Amino acid sequence: MARAQPEALRPTGEQIRRWEWLHAGFFREVPEYPGFAWQEVIVNAFAHHDYEDQGREIEVWFFGDRMEVNSPGNLVPPVTLDALRSREPVHASRNPLLVRVLVEVGLMREEGEEIARMFEEMETSYLQGPEFAFDAATFTVTLRNEPIFAGVGTEWQEVVRGLPLSLAQRRVLLAHPDRLTNEDYRRLNGVDRDEAYRKIQEMVALGVVLPAEAPGRGAVYRVQRETAEREGRRNARGSNAGDALRAAHTGGDPVWMLERAAALRAFFSNHATLKNAGYRQLFAAGRGVAFRELRQLVRGG
């Protein structure tokens, strides 16, 4: 089994195309599906496959806009579709001995943390989160390759990129450039209603979106493009000026603190602590970059 998985991953990886994202500097050349996300789906299909059902095998299907992995077998309690969709760290093994072997050889984790990371990897690439479905004793995971800002002009992408907002807030403005709802925010960012409301109110306070005309469930917030453009330009000018000043005092070291400041202030207005994973989500940073920057922020007080 430890040899079979790499052999299965190799031909699957050969089907993953590499695309060059040149949308206002948001992306570089990347695979159409994040490596961790699709590999984790394959590994979990092997680990939790119902091997008593010898008439069916794991199937990987590629379509123009998505890939689907179908694995025979029912969900094992306490794992449910709702728990998976809400990113709860639940874990159960249909084949505990097999899972133990895969964990020991380093092919998978046993803690149930992989689902949250799959969401994180997809969303950091501005893709929809993984979708889960169960039908006719078959568990299906779908990954979509259509970026959430497809069809949005590069000018608006540049505006959103310059706003002093978190990655999650920028994501919803890219996906919904005219108007948005609490449900839109929750669906894109995997948060609860209260968290979505707080983050939308931060955008209201900034003037990027208008207060809802009819508050409550189903409230619609209209995007203020003129205000967003003005704030984006102002933030860009402030960052450029701060970059020049800091470069003069640091001998030309890379400048990032001023760019992080507004989003960090907004985050700590609603949270007492920030983990490396949260920092990576805020700024679409890698694990190493997040560690170094957090260490410098701590040292700087």
How confident is the chain (301 residues) per 10-residue block, as mean pLDDT?
Answer: 70 80 48 88 86 86 93 87 85 78 69 78 82 91 82 76 85 89 86 91 90 86 89 65 40 54 80 86 77 78 71
Task: Please give the model's pTM, rounded to 2 decimal places.
Answer: 0.53
**According to the model, what pLDDT value does residue 220 have?**
94
> What's 194's domain CATH number?
1.10.10.10
Please report whether residue 78 resides in a domain: yes
Query: In degrees rounded to 5, what are phi and psi of residue 68?
Result: -125, 135
Both 131 and 188 in a single domain?
A: no
Structure tokens at 214: 């009819």
Which residue has tokens 């694990």? 287
Residues spanned by the domain of 74: 4-144
Both 169 and 125 in a single domain?
A: no
Both 202 and 123 in a single domain?
A: no
Please report whether residue 166 resides in a domain: yes
**According to the model, what pLDDT value does residue 209 have?**
93
**50 alpha carbon, distance to own chain's centre:** 30
Domain end marker among 124, 144, 164: 144
Please report whether residue 182 resides in a domain: yes
Please report whether residue 13 resides in a domain: yes
**According to the model, what pLDDT value does residue 250 have?**
38
Cα distance between residue 79 and residue 18, in whole Å: 33
Both 160 and 220 in a single domain?
A: yes
Please report whether residue 284 resides in a domain: no
Both 61 and 122 in a single domain?
A: yes
**According to the model, what pLDDT value does residue 141 have?**
95
Domain end marker among 98, 121, 144: 144
Both 21 and 135 in a single domain?
A: yes
Domain end marker among 86, 110, 144: 144
Both 180 and 134 in a single domain?
A: no
Number of domains in the chain: 2
Please report whether residue 271 resides in a domain: no
Cα distance between residue 71 and residue 60, in whole Å: 9
Both 211 and 162 in a single domain?
A: yes
Asked if 132 contacts 87 with a C-beta cutoff of 8 angstroms, the reply is no
Both 110 and 217 in a single domain?
A: no
Asked if 18 contacts 149 with a C-beta cutoff of 8 angstroms, the reply is no
Please report whether residue 263 resides in a domain: no
> What's 45's domain CATH number?
3.30.565.60
Please report whether residue 280 resides in a domain: no
Both 174 and 226 in a single domain?
A: yes
Structure tokens at 281: 């989500």
**According to the model, what pLDDT value does residue 26 have?**
44
Both 133 and 179 in a single domain?
A: no
Cα distance between residue 175 and residue 221, in whole Å: 14
Phi-psi sector, 56: left (phi>0), alpha (psi -120 to 50), beta: beta
Cα-Cα-Cα-Cα torsion 209, 215, 220, 226, nearest 10 degrees, comes to -20
Both 193 and 122 in a single domain?
A: no
**According to the model, what pLDDT value does residue 19 have?**
67
